[in-house]
Amino acid sequence: MDDLLRLENITKSFSGTQVLKGICLTAGKGEFITLLGPSGCGKTTTLRIIAGLESPDEGRVLLEQMDVTASDPNKRDVNTVFQNYALFPHMNVENNIGYGLKIKNVKKEEIRRKVKKMLELVQLEGYEKRMPSELSGGQRQRVAIARALINEPKLLLLDEPLGALDLKLRRQMQIELKRLQKKLGITFIYITHDQEEALNMSDRIAVMNEGQFIQIGSPADIYDRPKSSYVADFVGNANILRGTVTHIEKDIVSFQHESGMGSFLSRGHRFVTGMPVTVAIRGEQTTLGQTDPLYIDRKDRMSLHGIVKEKSFSGGMLHIALELANGEEFICNRHGIDFEILSGDKAVIGWLPEHCIAVDLIEEKP
């Protein structure tokens, strides 16, 4: 009931192209929500509408039950950390951070005291007199965060704040941002196209594509129980297989694919023989063998055949790309560099049914 932010059926078009197709979102107090999606999916537009820098064609923006759809950005208790930080180049760090307070005619000593406190918070003590041009990317980013937080907003919007930083610094800032957010209890709405970042930091993730929210849920929901092949692919880098249900035994459903057989757990959904089905299975939860080895004694025996095309090593994992009979690619991930299967080998892919999930199901309305 006491939602801090509520978006109701927001639509927005730019020169005839619909960028937002009626999005709804609620955010509670102190929640960390991530908008995750590829570039051009409407994340930034959503954020700009919340900030008041853009007005929606239709729909309403409510802040603490107050309709602020028509309010100017300076009349909203919302601050933004912009993608390029947008630090004022003609002001030093102190004046940048103190800008919001100065606008509100806060006393000079008070501003100085609060800026000092903010600089401590973002670990930039002693940088008051530096100009933005004299700061590194990570430092600029901290100044941008401090400049927004000093106004004690109820809601902080962050537009890919870590996008310009290198991987190591990004990891470090992820932890720091999360720590800040917990400490201050401010609601964060955070934009990223990096699924790891989203999974690491968020209380809830809203996966976005083509101006719509595809799925909103906790990181575990999004990662382990994707509802659509899009989410399974975008967030979990899962393999997507399309087949036909052949038989059902208790909660194990088997399906026929052009490259062989597979099975998954029904998880309470109703399946019937002959119906088409789409499943998602993540690469690290598959096995790979030269013959049908592992589940030979089980009812859910499966044997999906493929030809090894390529092996690459990244992120501590070996990625083996296989080509299935229908030409689709299937990725298996393994720890370690060495793996006895070579390019051109025939291989059999297997998995436990509980690791395979049916997606793109039509929602059963109660």
Point out which residues bind another protein (CB under 8 A): 51-53, 72-74, 78-80, 82, 84, 86, 88-90, 99-100, 103-104, 147-148, 151
Least Å distance between CB 214 and another protein?
28
- Which tokens hold the place of 316? 């501590």
Q: Which CB sits closer to another protein, 158 or 357?
A: 158
**DSSP for 21-70, written as a single string:** EEEEEEE-TT-EEEEE--TTSSHHHHHHHHHTSS--SEEEEEETTEE-TT
Closer residue to another protein (CB): 91 or 294: 91
| Strands 260-265 and 303-314, sheet pairing | antiparallel
Euclidean distance between the first and the last CA atom of the chain, given in angstroms as a whole number: 23
Q: Is the CB of 51 or the CB of 180 nearer to another protein?
A: 51
Cα separation, 106 vs 236, in Å, equals 48
- DSSP helix, strand, coil percent of the chain (3-state; round to 5): 25, 35, 40
CB 17, min distance to another protein, A: 16
| Two structure tokens written together for 279 | 């499943």
Q: How far is CA 235 from the centre of its chain?
A: 7
Do residues 156 and 162 touch, judged by C-beta distance below 8 A?
A: no
What minimum distance in Å lies between the beta carbon of 110 and another protein? Answer: 15
Backbone angles phi, psi at 244, to 5 degrees: -125, 135
Count CA atoms closer than 13 A to 131's CA, side-chain side: 5
| Beta carbon nearer to another protein, 122 or 279 | 122
- Which of residues 14 and 88 has its CB atom nearest to another protein in the complex? 88
**Nearer residue to another protein within complex by CB, 147 or 227:** 147
64 vs 323 by CB, closer to another protein = 64
CB of 157 to another protein, least distance (A): 9
Q: Least CB distance from residue 144 to another protein, whole Å?
A: 9
Rg (CA), the chain: 25
CA distance 366 to 363: 9
Go through the chain and tell me how many residues it has.
366
- Select 72 or 297, whichever has its Cβ closest to another protein: 72
Q: How far is the CB of 128 from another protein (least distance, A)?
A: 18
Nearest distance in Å: CB 13, another protein: 18
Alpha helices, H only, the chain: 43-51, 93-103, 108-121, 137-149, 167-184, 195-201, 219-224, 229-236
Minimum distance from CB of 33 to another protein (Å)? 19
Among residues 251, 246, 287, the alpha carbon closest in space to that of 270 is found at: 251
**Contact residues for 315 (Cβ-Cβ < 8 A; gap 6+):** none
